[in-house]
Amino acid sequence: MLHVNDLTYHIEGWLLLDGAAVAIPAGHKVGFVGRNGTGKTTLFKIILGEVNTDGGSISVPSSWRVGAIAQEAPGGPESLIDHVLSADKERAQLLADAETEQDPSQIAEIHTRLADIGAHAAPARAATILAGLGFTETAQQQPCGSLSGGWRMRVALAAALFSEPEVLLLDEPTNYLDLEGTIWLQNFLKTYRYTAIIISHDRDLLNTSVSSILHLDQQKLTLYQGNYDTFDRQRREKQALELKMKKKQDEQRRHMQAFVDRFRYKASKARQAQSRLKALSKLEPVSAMADNQVAPFLFPAPQKILNPPLVRFEEAAVGYGDTTVLRDLNMRLDPDDRIGLLGANGNGKSTFAKLLSGRLDVRSGAMRHHKKLDVGYFAQHQLDELNPQESPYDHIRAMMPDATEAQRRAKIGALGFGAHLADTKAGKLSGGEKARLLFAMASFVGPHILILDEPTNHLDVDSREALIRAINDYEGAVILISHDRHLIETCADRLWLVNKGTVQPFDGDLDDYTKLILAAARADRKAAAAQAKGADATNGSEPVASAPELEPVKPPVPELTPQERRRQAADARAKVQPFKKKIQQIESKMQKLNEILTLIDSSLGDASLYEKEPDKAQQLVLERGKAAKELQDAETDWIDATEALEQAEAAAQAAQS
């Protein structure tokens, strides 16, 4: 178990942690959340021993290894697969010792230990992890130094996953992944056998891959059981309870103070006034949970409405230099389109976005659009293109040359930059603040099309929700490139797949696409295993292709006798009964849960409970959240069982006819 004990930490006079404490059981997958800048990454550094605290301690079993993504991206001539394999220090040392050891007994022990840790299967495991993160078999043999920064960070992530520490710390691991890599990582983390703590603002990952949420708020740590949606509901219920308790206490305090102010100098009431003063001094204040609302994002509506289509491609092709990246583009974009672009990194999503935004020209075919078409374009690399010496006000001033200073100040304030941030140099802004400035600049003129390429990388969960609201309120067309599944699901109406050198509509939703990705990964693993097995069977030569299996000819189905038909109908009717029984059981459970919720709500409705038994009130809020979640799950089971019953009844009816 990992223990954080009464931790206190200051940085530059700023209190980040104040008596923070939590215990995380072995094997738990924990999502670590909190507003940007509250100290999540700092806590990781404390756990790793990179930062000394002002007070408190971290306790981890001595035999446990604590691992994280290396801060320095791998480079140099070492191949990707060799770099990942070197992350297992024990295996590397044992293999080195096996080369030099002369003592037969020691050699035997080394090989026994190598067998115990599965050392000979390690290359296949490392290759599987790299493949899941988007590296082909050929790419895995390339030197790390040949990769760009983002791809090197994927290699660093692969090394951290391969090393399998007893405590795995991941800080925003999806920031350098595409949707395909994110889906793979989510499934990997679900089956990770040790403790994992993941700082993430990816709501889908926090809902599918973790069993509890660690929340850092107001310098304290609180561990919630369940996924992010459960945590969010519990937090809001707790917030409502504390706000109600604070309101009650404030009224009590005002009443006591009014009595003291009125009678403290009146002899007959002096003793009572003194009693009220003592009660006031002992009244522990209830600190309402801070609900720091995120400033909204604003995407102005297009100033001039254009008739559809906004853009039409006709056998278009685009690329760089002598290389064609995309060809045979035949689609149109209308003013009300909300499109999510799918496809692995390197397939051409950003190339298509640059073509649509006018940053690239078609090399053949045609791209037809209105002459007055305005396109707003946001991409993560633009964060580095902001002038670090200029403030948000300076950047917006350049876009409003004829406006007064008051108008510019009003505009920058409406964009979410208060007086202090408005004049802060861009080089000192956080990633989220830089992203907010770029959103404002990309959409400043009210574009007809807004292209957002990985817009959520530097945004916390609440800021992502604010972005979702802004996109859905925006009146123009939207193209989304994102690894954030929640963003795509809530904002995109249609999906286009960038694959095999072209762009085509994807007939399905993200669940279908997820199944497609995971099925392809399984097929690749099977193919690799079959190839390796074939090579072994032929002493290293290419496996001999077997003759294709033909579909067996199915004999005609004989006509059933009346007796057989009756038996078949009886069997079909019998299959209906289990579904009816299951539905009755679920309905009974739902009724009990509704009764529990009614009792809890009745208790929570008693205002005196919060004053007399605050601990009990808190426990009831938690029990209510648990019962509400169970009711929601039961309702889902009821819908599934009802659908299954309808299918069984239809089959029974068909058998009778």
Residues 485 and 355 occupy one common structural domain: yes
Domain assignment present for residue 169? The answer is: no
Residues 366 and 504 occupy one common structural domain: yes
Domain assignment present for residue 123? The answer is: yes
Domain assignment present for residue 492? The answer is: yes
* 173 in Cβ contact with 457 (< 8 Å): no
Domain assignment present for residue 21? The answer is: no
Residues 316 and 271 occupy one common structural domain: no
Residues 415 and 501 occupy one common structural domain: yes
If phi > 0 it is left, if psi is from -120 to 50 it is alpha, else beta; for residue 315 that is: left
Residue 557 confidence (pLDDT): 45
Q: pLDDT band at residue 34, thresholds of 50, 70 and 90?
A: confident
Q: From edge to edge, which strands make up the β-sheet containing 494-499?
A: 375-379, 449-453, 477-481, 338-342, 494-499, 502-505
Task: Indicate whether 638 pLDDT > 80.
Answer: no
Domain range for residue 256? 242-282
Residues 505 and 429 occupy one common structural domain: yes
Domain assignment present for residue 543? The answer is: no
Mean predicted lDDT score pLDDT of the chain: 81
Rounded to whole angstroms, how far apart are CA atoms 262 and 92? Answer: 80
Q: From edge to edge, which strands make up the β-sheet containing 220-225?
A: 66-68, 167-171, 195-199, 29-33, 212-217, 220-225
Q: Which position has the token pair 């530097």?
A: 458
How many percent of the chain have pLDDT more than 90?
A: 24
Task: Indicate whether 292 pLDDT > 50.
Answer: yes
Q: How many CB atoms lie within 10 A of CB 412?
A: 25
| H or E element in which residue 638 lies | helix 614-656
Lowest mean pLDDT among 11-20, 324-333, 486-495: 11-20
Quick one: average pLDDT of 619-639?
Answer: 74
Domain assignment present for residue 237? The answer is: no
Q: pLDDT tens across 308-322, in order?
A: 899 999 999 999 988
Choosing from 145, 164, 183, the residue where a domain stops is 164
Residues 262 and 317 occupy one common structural domain: no
Task: Indicate whether 447 pLDDT > 90.
Answer: yes
Quick one: average pLDDT of 618-640?
Answer: 74
* 32 in Cβ contact with 58 (< 8 Å): no
Rounded to whole angstroms, how far apart are CA atoms 206 and 200? Answer: 7
Residues 360 and 260 occupy one common structural domain: no
Domain assignment present for residue 536? The answer is: no
Pick 369 or 614 by higher pLDDT.
369
Residues 260 and 349 occupy one common structural domain: no
Pick 128 or 248 by higher pLDDT.
128
Rounded to whole angstroms, how far apart are CA atoms 263 and 621? Answer: 40
Q: pLDDT band at residue 288, thresholds of 50, 70 and 90?
A: very low
As for how many domains the chain has, the answer is 4
Burial status of residue 5 (CB atoms within 10 A of its CB: 0-12, 13-18, 19 or more):
middle
Pick 150 or 211 by higher pLDDT.
211
Domain assignment present for residue 370? The answer is: yes
Choosing from 96, 130, 164, the residue where a domain stops is 164
* 284 in Cβ contact with 245 (< 8 Å): no
Q: Residue 485: give its domain's CATH number.
A: 3.40.50.300
Task: Say which amino acid occupies 567.
Answer: R
Choosing from 499, 515, 531, the residue where a domain stops is 515
Task: Say which amino acid occupies 14.
Answer: W
Residues 488 and 566 occupy one common structural domain: no
Residues 278 and 325 occupy one common structural domain: no
Q: Residue 588: give its domain's CATH number.
A: 1.10.287
Q: pLDDT tens across 567-581, in order?
A: 666 676 677 778 888
Quick one: average pLDDT of 188-212?
Answer: 91
Quick one: average pLDDT of 346-366?
Answer: 91
Residues 509 and 598 occupy one common structural domain: no
Residues 328 and 390 occupy one common structural domain: yes
Task: Indicate whether 262 pLDDT > 70.
Answer: no
Residue 370 confidence (pLDDT): 87
Q: pLDDT tens across 420-441, in order?
A: 888 888 888 888 888 899 999 9
